[in-house]
Amino acid sequence: MWFPTQEEAVEMYARFLEARHGRTAGEYARKTAKKLHAKGDIAGYTIWNRVADTVERGSEKSINIEKVMEVS
């Protein structure tokens, strides 16, 4: 049976959020992280920030690909 690593799980959830929330996916993940931090859930806060970072990196890559396509 396959169990995703933590990094794979972060990547999968980031892609899910992008599909569900579009451009606001990173913002959604950051808000969730802040809520967890306020409740004292540091592990949850850390993971949700990693998800937000992954979403934002993915968005940057998409923008860069679009720029390359415009130049071609």
- What's the token pair of residue 54? 């992954």
- How does pLDDT run along the chain (72 residues), one tens digit per residue? 989 899 999 999 999 999 999 999 999 999 999 999 999 999 999 999 999 999 999 855 544 444 444 554
> What pTM does this model have?
0.77
Dist. CA 60–CA 4, nearest whole Å: 25
Which whole-number Å values give the CA distances from 4 to 9, 31, 59, 68, in the listed order?
6, 25, 23, 33
**Class of residue 15 by CB neighbours under 10 A (exposed 0-12, middle 13-18, buried 19+):** middle
